[in-house]
Every structure is written in C-alpha cells, then in structure tokens.
Structure 1
Amino acid sequence: MVEQLTLIAGAARAAVAPALGGALTLWTVDGVPMLRAASAEAIAARDPLGMASFPLVPFSNRIADARFDWAGEHHAIAPNFAPEPHAIHGIGWTSAWEVSEARDDRVVLTLDHAGDARWPFAFAAEQIVALTPDTLTVTLTARNLEAFDAPLACGHHPYFPAAGARLRFAAERRWPPDARMLPGDPVEIADRQVDFAVAERALDCAFSRWDGVATIAWPERALRIESEVDHAVVYTPGGAPHFCFEPVAHLPNALSVTVAPGASHRATMRLIAQPVSVRA
C-alpha cells in the first residue's frame, strides 16, 4: 500500500499519496465526495489514472509521437500511454515526490528532475496542497534548472463524479481532436458559454482563453473551480462514473510556455465547495 497523508480542516478531509505521483486520493466535505475517490484497488496497483487528481509537469496532455524540436535540436522522449504513440501528461504523475512539510491541513511535496529519457530538461517542482473547511487549493510550481530557456509548464488533472453533474464555464475557442487525439482546427464559441450536462456529451477536447472560473453543479452539491492558467481540457468519457476539467497552461502538442534559467512557472487550482443553491 502506498503511504497516504491525511489532511483535516473542520468537516473536510483530503488525502495525498506522495509516492504515487504526488496524487490526491480523496477530498470530501461533510462526508460528501467533491473529487472522485481513488479505490483501494487503484492505489494498490499504483495506477495514477485511478486517482482523485494528479499534477501535470513539465507539460500537459500529448506530445505527438513523443518527439519535438527545441532550440535547433530534435528530442525523442519515452511514449507512456500505449497503444498511442504519444507522450502524455509529463512526468510528475508517474514520479515519487518527497515530503518537505506535513501539517494537519497542509502538505508540501517536492520533485527534483535531472533530465532523462522521459524528459530531457532539468527542473525542480513543488506542490502545495492546502485544505480549509470548504476549499482545497493545489499550487504547483516548477523552476527551470537549465542554463538556457526551456519548455516548462504546470497544470492539474482532477477527476469529478459524473452522476448528475452539470459543467459551466466560458472560453473563446474549442479544439476538437483529430483521429490521432491531437488538436484539430479551432472552433470559435460564439457566446463564449459552455454549459452542458456531463452525461449527455462525450468530449475529449481542449479549450483556449477560458476565463478562469468554472462551476460544477450536482443535485446535492456544487463546486467552483478557479485557476490563473488560460487553457482547459474537458474529458467526459461516455458512460463513465467520472469526468475531468483540467486547468492547463497550453494546448495539447504545443510546448508554448518557455521559462528562463532559474525562473519558474506556476499553476494554482482552487476548488471551493458551495451550497447546492449556488449554481451561477
């Protein structure tokens, strides 16, 4: 069993598994699940795709064929999402993180990456998970350890219960995937509004220039999602008991966030439990 750290704030509970990609395995408020809880089977199998949420660093979503060019050099990295030929979600979600601080309501995890076949550039990441009685905040920061500008970005991959869920947010464009699950031609969203019942639409789609606030309403609870990054990926697998709204810093297959030597990129995800009547 992977060791888990439990956070408590009032009637809220959260749990983090540092050795399992620094993933969250649980968040409940008054006993009600606000994230999909990781099953005992998923934890025992060390399956990051079965967690409640995991960190995305140094990139999110897919890099086509696990290959890219940077500063005049060609890089081939390890594909990690068979049978697809792509690399996906970076390396944080499959790495063991160190615990640098653990309190009742706050955990700080760190990850030092020297560069390897999974990702060629060195960086240091820090993940702060903080809990209050109604809010879970995850702040992910990555610092470039190279002596040159390098691609480096942070994001988040939470899973939410799908039953009865309605998702609302605003964005400028959506990027439907092509046959290889890479972004196709963008589609302008005329009124900027995205609003649908999760059970009625199957999506695996990126959105750009979202306004940093999304809401999820269930019959018995509601949730507000806030983040400063301006892209998001929505994954609503048809018939599944979960779905994802992922705040990210760039489109799939676009290493568009560049960080100078010694500088950092940060992405904060704030999840706020709200009364069921709050569904704006």
Structure 2
Amino acid sequence: MTSLKITDPETGSFAHILPELGFNCYQFQAMVDGQCIDVIDSLPEFEQGKQRPSSSGIPILFPFPNRIANAQYKWEGVTYELPPEKTYHDKTGNAIHGFCLDLPWRVIAQEESFAIAQFQLSIDGKHRLKYWPGDIFIEVKYEVKGATLRADIRVGNPGTTTVPWGLGTHPYFKAPLSAESNRKHCLVEAPASEEWVLEECLPTGVKKTIGEAHDLREGAWLDQLNLDHVLSGMPEETDQYESLIMDEQAGLVLTQDYDSLFSELVVFTPDNRDCVCLEPYTCVTNAINLTRQEAETGLRVLPPGSEIKTWIEIRAGKVIV
C-alpha cells in the first residue's frame, strides 16, 4: 500500500495516512519544543495491510460505529441482513465498525500540510450499498499544524430518501508517551458521568451512573484499567468535550478535543499493548436496533440533499505545573 504524508513545515510534525485502507491515519509524530512525540500506535506491518483494519492507527467507523447485533436491523419496515462475506464482522457474528474502514477512499485534494478524501457508498462501496437504507458519503480533511492533528469531517446524503447514520473514530493512543516512562505513570481522563449497561459488548438500552472502576472524571491510572465500555452522560451546555492521557513521568500530555456531536465515548484498553483507545462516537453501539428504547441513542437521520459537519483534534504538549 502507498501511504500519504502530510507535514507542518514550521515544526516538522507529520502524519502518515493510508487512503487504500479506510483513509486510516496510522502515524502521527508531533514536535513539542524540539522533542518528537510518537502519538499513534500501530501494529507491525499494518501499513502493508497485514493486520486487521480495526487494529491500529485511527480507523474511521461509518455509517455506524461499533456493532450491529447479529448483523441485522430493521429500518422503515424493511429488514436488512449484513452477510459476513460482504461486510466486516466480529468473531461472534455482529457486523462491526461500518462500511469504510477496510476499503479505499478517493483523495480529492492534497497539499503539504493537509489531505482530503471521500468515501461514498454508491461509488466506493457499491457491494455494500444494498445493506444500508440509502446512499451516504463522508469526507475527511486531515491537517497537521504545530503539534496538532485535526480532522474536519463532512457527512452528506446525496440520495432521494432519508438515511440513518452514526460516526466514530477508533484511535490507538500510545501510552506511555516516552520510552523512559511506564503505563503506571499515565493518567487517563474523560468527562463521562454515565455508562451503558452491556451484555457481550452490546448495550441493553439502559444507562446508569458510571461505576467507580470506569469513572475517569478525576483521572485513573492506565495500568489499573481494564475497559471495553461505552461511556455517556457528557457535560451539558458545552460545544466540545475533552479526553486526555497525561504521562506524568515524561511530563507530556495528549489531548483529544471533539465536537459535542460526539455524545458517547468508548474506552478500550487492548491486552498486551502499550496503548489506550479513546473513541468518540456520535451514537451508541447498536443504536439502529435501539430506536424504540426510551434512552437517547444518538442515532441521526439525514434528509435528502443535506449534510452535517463536525471535527476532532489531537494535540501533544508539555504538562503545565
């Protein structure tokens, strides 16, 4: 596979992206006061396409994030089944992580510090179009500026019928942030005050006050976390949220800011890897099958010809004391 490189000319910070594999930004190295911080974790040979598309970098999950239970849902009276030979599945038979993380995107613009690519279901995923209620597209602009990697995102409906959608990203953040540090010195923070009750990774449709073992509001040490949970209950009356990893021994902090459209946050601590996933979602896992529940799932619907814009920023910096 051929990677695409974008660079901030003033600082030398850079990112590598794989347009052929879901426009996955699998490397971001940020320069902070002359120090190079390796931000994104990727498995060996990921850039050669020899690992799972969801295993590294920043997979983009669209038009649904995480799972659809039993790879089946009903929309406006029509039942849709997503077969494993045509769509991405987990080991237990759920459709997972959308339609575009394992397929090529079209790069429509590129300059030194940014690149823009699109994925439209009817163009780039024709074999999956019949498994969604209508055509839909996503456009992502990645830009490196200083020690920040920014994603500006546009989602649109080019068709003639209303279309449901959800969006998530699945970034693997390195932790610790320095070879001289350790996981036990890394503090993970996120503002969620609630969590979804899960059964085999699927929400039951009920939310509860966040449990002590999952509460990251005051920070929790990474080596003490064992998470694959969907957090919710973000602060109200704000237009953006923040989650972060603070490596106290290294004196470094990694911040992820994102639009309040991302109302849910999946936190995942992969086994036997020095990383943590802080995944902003616009809707909860399996939202399309939870529409009759009283809890707000975040699932959205786009009218024909309409679009919506959102954003995420990842920034490396020094701990300010």
2:46 matches 1:42: yes
2:251 matches 1:252: no
1:68 CA displacement: 0.5
2:178 matches 1:135: no
2:28 matches 1:27: yes
> 2:315 & 2:127 partners in 1: Cα distance?
37
1:263 CA displacement: 1.5
1:213-232 matches, within 5 Å, as 213-218=242-247, 219-220=249-250, 221-228=252-259, 229-232=262-265
1:148-227 matches, within 5 Å, as 148-163=161-176, 164=183, 165-178=186-199, 180-184=200-204, 185-189=206-210, 193=217, 195-211=219-235, 212-218=241-247, 219-220=249-250, 221-227=252-258
Aligned-partner SS, 2:101: helix
| Deviation sequence 1:24-64 (CA, Å, 0-9, x none) | 1210113221121x345122135323431121111101100
Report the count of equivalent residues.
Answer: 275
Contact 2:121 2:128 in 1 (8 A): no
- Which has the higher mean CA deviation after the structures are superposed, 130-139 or 186-195? 186-195
Q: List runs of 5+ in structure 1 lacking aligned partners.
A: none
Contact 1:14 1:24 in 2 (8 A): yes
| Deviation sequence 1:57-105 (CA, Å, 0-9, x none) | 1110110011111011111113423422111110121110011111111
> 1:231 & 1:150 partners in 2: Cα distance?
21
Q: TM-score, normalised by structure 2?
A: 0.80
2:276 matches 1:243: yes
> 2:152 & 2:268 partners in 1: Cα distance?
22
Q: Quick one: percent identity of the two aligned structures?
A: 22
Contact 2:135 2:163 in 1 (8 A): no
- Which has the higher mean CA deviation after the structures are superposed, 118-127 or 103-112? 118-127
2:125 matches 1:125: no
Contact 1:67 1:74 in 2 (8 A): yes
> 1:153 & 1:64 partners in 2: Cα distance?
15
Structure 2 match to 1:78: 83
Structure 2 match to 1:18: 19
Contact 1:175 1:187 in 2 (8 A): yes
> 1:259 & 1:248 partners in 2: Cα distance?
17
Q: TM-score, normalised by structure 1?
A: 0.91
Contact 1:61 1:88 in 2 (8 A): yes
> 2:103 & 2:277 partners in 1: Cα distance?
21
Aligned-partner SS, 1:94: coil
- Which has the higher mean CA deviation after the structures are superposed, 117-126 or 195-204? 117-126
Contact 1:162 1:243 in 2 (8 A): yes
Aligned-partner SS, 2:171: strand
Contact 1:169 1:195 in 2 (8 A): yes
Q: List runs of 5+ in structure 2 lacking aligned partners.
A: 177-182, 236-240, 289-298
1:202 CA displacement: 0.8
- Which has the higher mean CA deviation after the structures are superposed, 166-175 or 94-103? 166-175
Task: Name the aligned partner's letter for residue 7 of structure 2.
Answer: I
2:66 matches 1:58: no
Structure 1 match to 2:109: 101
Q: Report which of the two structures shows the higher radius of gyration computed on alpha carbons.
A: 2
Aligned-residue Cα RMSD (Å) equals 2.0
Task: Name the aligned partner's letter for residue 152 of structure 2.
Answer: T
- Which has the higher mean CA deviation after the structures are superposed, 116-125 or 26-35? 116-125
Task: Name the aligned partner's letter for residue 210 of structure 1.
Answer: M
